[in-house]
A and B are shown apart, each in its own frame.
Chain A
Amino acid sequence: MFRIVKRQDMSSRYSSALRIGSIFAALLFTALIIILLGYNPIQVYFKIVEGSLFSKFRITQTIHKMIPLITLSLGCAVAFKMKFWNIGAEGQFYLGALGATYIALNYGSLPPYILLPIMFLAGFICGALWALISALLRTAFGASETLVTLMLNYIATNIIMYLQYGPWKDPAARGFAKIARFSPNAWLPTIFGVQSGWIITVVLVILIYFMFAKTRLGYQIQVIGENTQTARYAGMNVNKILIIAVILSGGICGIAGMMQASGVEHSLTYELSAGLGFTAVITAWLARLDPLSIVVVSTLFSILLQGGTYIQTALQVPSSIAGIIQGVILFFVLASDFFVNYKIIRVKKENAGTAVPVSKGE
């Protein structure tokens, strides 16, 4: 007989250990699946690490995933702190990229030191506006932001597809439906062999950390996230703060899109994000919305994603195994959270004499 009982308060060290433990448990579990699928798990895991870290090129590739992933996770975290479930990082990423692309295609002759800041701004504004739709529908009508932002993701991808196949199709591409490459003026320069977006990302991590730890806005966002009623009661203009935070959240995601278009792809396609906008929702949550943990978690996920594409060529294991591993890890972490608050104890078997039928439940 086992029983579930509530734990007394848990040290944060214990809960971190629990989280790390559950990730290892998940990797063990996935190893079992990999064996069942007929592959060697040690080899698969090794190749994932090898494929993401064992050469300068691969490290660059991994960092090129880290930059947008960290940035998008930060964007999500800002909204999530307020319990505003912005699942629209993907769409805001695309709109940001779209804004930047519009500038790059039309004003490509401007010198980089003027062009790039404008593209940066355009990325922020477009991402912010796209997110703002959900914030306005929520504050004005109470529409569920989770579903609105999800729908906006699909609409955003369709807009990019429309542009790519329609008005923005590059006539020079000989019938291929693609958007023209940016002029080199619109490329983010490379520093230490990787696109310079990482500087922006590092600055953002520090800014967001500072915002939540020290500033009034950060404090207000957290109060609203914990208890909207109390926030109103204390005299906060909840709707105004919510809108500001969502603009910030969407804008940051938009910046991620701008950096990916300008720094890596030098163009825009409807596959630019490679689903990172959805992964970011998860990494943000997994990092408990803490900016520094976001860096750690995003790094691990970038390794997993980059390694996933490598094993497809190296071992003929479909790269989507990375998606499955991600899912399993998350399922384990979600379940492990239970043990932060509860524990299962063994109950001595009671002696007989039960007058009532023992229920099937429990």
Chain B
Amino acid sequence: MEMLNTIGLFLQSTVQMGTILLFATLGGILCERVGHLNLGIEGMMLMGAVIGFYTGYHTGNGWVAFAAAAVAGGFGALIYAVITVTFLGNQTVTGLVLSIFGTGFSSFVGLPLSTVTMPQSAMAPFRAFKVPLLSKIPVLGPAIFEQSVYVHIGLILAIVMYVYLNKTRFGLNLRAIGENPASADASGINITLYKYIHIIIGGMLCGLGGAYLTLVYVPLWQDGITSGMGWIAVTLIIFSTWNPLKAIISAYLFGALRSIGFKLQNIQIPKIGGGTFILNSQLLNMLPYIMTIVVLVIIALRKKREEQPPGWLSLPYYREDR
């Protein structure tokens, strides 16, 4: 029973860590599906995280903070969209710059926030609550049904996005844009509008991913709080083959890796021939990054057509180019 409890708690923290990655991955999927590689996820997450915290701290209202975080992420994405969609700027560089900008922006806004704590009223809407009956399921119950509503929003979004992409007319059109904008254009689709909308919504989701840290998970502000999760999300987008449902699995998987780092800190492993080797947090913190590299190799080996990126990913499109 004790063992089950531990596993339950571990899964709970896995899902929490996974939620951050899930939002960011979903945001990235939306953006890449219209053919835009946005390496600014880390930046947009930080913008969302700091603005969410700032708003929560000043208004004391969690939902207002939630909305503000989305707007902040969406604003970052808007900058990206103006440069890459309208001005046909290099997507890789623009994304990197957005990450640098987001980092600078967040530490600028965040400087006075590093010593304050979030008012209880702002955290209230996101407190974990038990879904009746379902939370009684052993192990899985507490992991999924004894969580913040934030976690559930993430899950629902993933499912909605899956249906949107695969079953609706808008989904069909936006996938076509990512695969071959010239054919989408010739079919009379308003490419620019589609791109703007989906890049911005994608950025909003990234902002919400970052804000989960400052509104629910930690909830404090510290510089660079996302610690590279935006980059991991970029990998998870590929790992989940641009499929929102698979994004749930891959995000939670990496959530687990990060949880291990926190749960197994300072465990002493006996060395052969006496003495102990201390598995300290710095070493364990490397785990998700190392696993990301492993995943990058695995996905590079995939050759199936269905697992390839959108055909026009990271390429500019200008109608009158010959």
Asked, given contacts A154-B289, A318-B107, A327-B101, whether A147 binds B301 with beta carbons under 8 Å apart, the answer is no
A203 interface residue per 8 A CB criterion: no
Residues of chain B within 8 A of A152, CB atoms compared? 289, 293
- Which stretch of A12-20, A64-72, A178-186, A328-336 is in the interface? A328-336
Residues of chain B within 8 A of A362, CB atoms compared? 192
Taken together as a complex, chains A and B put the C-alpha atoms of A4 and B296 apart, in Å, by 39
Asked, given contacts A148-B296, A323-B108, whether A334 binds B93 with beta carbons under 8 Å apart, the answer is yes
Selected from A6, A165, A323, the residue in CB contact (under 8 A) with B104 is A323
Instruction: Give the contacts of B258-302 with A (CB-CB under 8 A).
Output: 278, 280, 282-283, 285-286, 289-290, 292-293, 296-297, 299-301
Taken together as a complex, chains A and B put the C-alpha atoms of A149 and B289 apart, in Å, by 10
Residues of chain B within 8 A of A162, CB atoms compared? 280, 282-283
- Which stretch of B3-11, B140-148, B228-236 is in the interface? B228-236
Instruction: Give the contacts of A146-167 with B (CB-CB under 8 A).
Output: 146-148, 150-152, 154-155, 158-159, 161-162, 165-166
B297 touches A141 (CB 8 A): yes
Selected from A151, A161, A322, A337, the residue in CB contact (under 8 A) with B231 is A151
A324 touches B231 (CB 8 A): no
Asked, given contacts A5-B320, A334-B83, A359-B190, whether A323 binds B101 with beta carbons under 8 Å apart, the answer is yes
Residues of chain B within 8 A of A187, CB atoms compared? none
Taken together as a complex, chains A and B put the C-alpha atoms of A346 and B82 apart, in Å, by 20
Taken together as a complex, chains A and B put the C-alpha atoms of A16 and B234 apart, in Å, by 34
B172 interface residue per 8 A CB criterion: no
A204 interface residue per 8 A CB criterion: no
Query: How would residues 330 to 362 of chain A score, 1 for a CB under 8 Å from any chain B CB and 0 otherwise?
Result: 110011011001100000000000000001111
- Chain B interface secondary structure, helix, strand, loop or mixed? helix
Residues of chain B within 8 A of A155, CB atoms compared? 286, 289-290
The residue of chain A having its C-beta at the shortest distance from the C-beta of B82 within the complex is A335
B133 interface residue per 8 A CB criterion: no
Instruction: Give the contacts of B10-48 with A (CB-CB under 8 A).
Output: 39
Residues of chain A within 8 A of B214, CB atoms compared? none
B105 touches A334 (CB 8 A): no
Chain B: interface residue count, which band?
A: 35 or more
Taken together as a complex, chains A and B put the C-alpha atoms of A293 and B234 apart, in Å, by 32
Asked, given contacts A147-B235, A147-B292, A327-B97, whether A158 binds B111 with beta carbons under 8 Å apart, the answer is no
Instruction: Give the contacts of B193-249 with A (CB-CB under 8 A).
Output: 193, 227-228, 231, 234-235, 238
- In the assembled complex, the CB of A37 is this many whole angstroms from the nearest CB of chain B, namely 9
B79 interface residue per 8 A CB criterion: yes
The residue of chain B having its C-beta at the shortest distance from the C-beta of A279 within the complex is B100
Taken together as a complex, chains A and B put the C-alpha atoms of A141 and B280 apart, in Å, by 32
B92 touches A146 (CB 8 A): yes
- In the assembled complex, the CB of A180 is this many whole angstroms from the nearest CB of chain B, namely 19
Asked, given contacts A158-B285, A165-B280, A282-B97, whether A137 binds B105 with beta carbons under 8 Å apart, the answer is no
Residues of chain A within 8 A of B107, CB atoms compared? 318, 320, 323
B87 touches A334 (CB 8 A): yes
Selected from B82, B97, B280, B292, the residue in CB contact (under 8 A) with A330 is B97
Selected from B79, B88, B101, B231, the residue in CB contact (under 8 A) with A338 is B88
A335 touches B89 (CB 8 A): yes
Taken together as a complex, chains A and B put the C-alpha atoms of A251 and B98 apart, in Å, by 28
- Chain A interface secondary structure, helix, strand, loop or mixed? helix
A361 touches B234 (CB 8 A): no
Residues of chain A within 8 A of B300, CB atoms compared? 137, 141-144
- In the assembled complex, the CB of B261 is this many whole angstroms from the nearest CB of chain A, namely 10
A326 touches B104 (CB 8 A): yes
B321 interface residue per 8 A CB criterion: yes
Selected from B39, B108, B286, the residue in CB contact (under 8 A) with A154 is B286
B96 touches A331 (CB 8 A): no
Asked, given contacts A87-B96, A144-B296, A162-B280, whether A335 binds B83 with beta carbons under 8 Å apart, the answer is yes
- In the assembled complex, the CB of B105 is this many whole angstroms from the nearest CB of chain A, namely 6
B59 interface residue per 8 A CB criterion: no
Asked, given contacts A321-B108, A327-B105, whether A335 binds B234 with beta carbons under 8 Å apart, the answer is no
Selected from B82, B193, B290, the residue in CB contact (under 8 A) with A360 is B193
Residues of chain B within 8 A of A102, CB atoms compared? none
Q: Top 9 A-B pairs ranked by shortest CB distance?
A: A323-B104, A327-B101, A162-B282, A338-B87, A334-B89, A320-B107, A320-B108, A142-B300, A143-B300
Known A159-B282, A282-B97; 6 more pairs at CB < 8 Å:
A148-B293, A151-B228, A158-B285, A279-B100, A327-B105, A337-B87
Which A residues are within 8 Å of any B CB, using their own CB? Answer: 4-6, 85, 87, 137, 141-144, 146-148, 150-152, 154-155, 158-159, 161-162, 165-166, 278-279, 281-282, 285, 318, 320-324, 326-328, 330-331, 334-335, 337-338, 341-342, 359-362
Which B residues are within 8 Å of any A CB, using their own CB? Answer: 39, 79, 82-83, 87-90, 92-94, 96-98, 100-101, 103-105, 107-108, 111, 190-193, 227-228, 231, 234-235, 238, 278, 280, 282-283, 285-286, 289-290, 292-293, 296-297, 299-301, 318, 320-321
Q: Could you pull out 14 A-B pairs where Cβ atoms are within 8 angstroms?
A: A142-B301, A143-B293, A143-B300, A144-B300, A147-B235, A148-B296, A152-B293, A162-B283, A324-B104, A324-B105, A330-B100, A331-B79, A331-B101, A342-B318
